[in-house]
Amino acid sequence: MLDQMLAVNVRGVFLAIQAAAARLRDGGRIITIGSNTAVRGGVVGSSVYAMTKSAVATLVRELALDLAPRRITVNNVQPGPIETDITADVLDMLVQRNPLGRVGQPQEVAGLVAYLAGPEASYMTGASLTLDGGWVI
């Protein structure tokens, strides 16, 4: 399990960023999707997953420095519980646990990604933005 999660969640993200950076024009944007578990997991058995998501946040922060001379921004979106097919069976529990009393919607994550891809976010780089309704507070 450790090797597979490291391969997908860390190595895969690194290689994807490396490939994107090689093809991006100066001033481009790289946005990764991490997880709020990088900040606080709180679920038994999630230590390896949380560690890999923390590694993504660190990777983004440090690669942002490497790509700054090209004005390429690198940011990370860390969603918490989002209403998807994967969360359908535990939706009630997630809603009860969330301070806002609901889970996020896919379009809310997309909206943050769109902002980071746009000109308004050209001064933001190396950031990990948690979007989870207060889950990790």
Catalytic residues: 49
Residue environment code for 29-68, b if the CB has 16+ CB neighbours within 10 A, otherwise e: bbbbebbbbbbebeeeeeeebbbbbbbbbebbbebbeebe
Give, to the nearest 10 degrees, the angle between helix 12-23 and helix 47-67: 20
DSSP state of 119: G
- For residue 79, count other CB atoms closer than 10 A to its CB: 22
Phi, psi (5° rounding) for residue 129? -105, 115
Contact in structure between 106 and 82 (CB atoms under 8 Å): yes
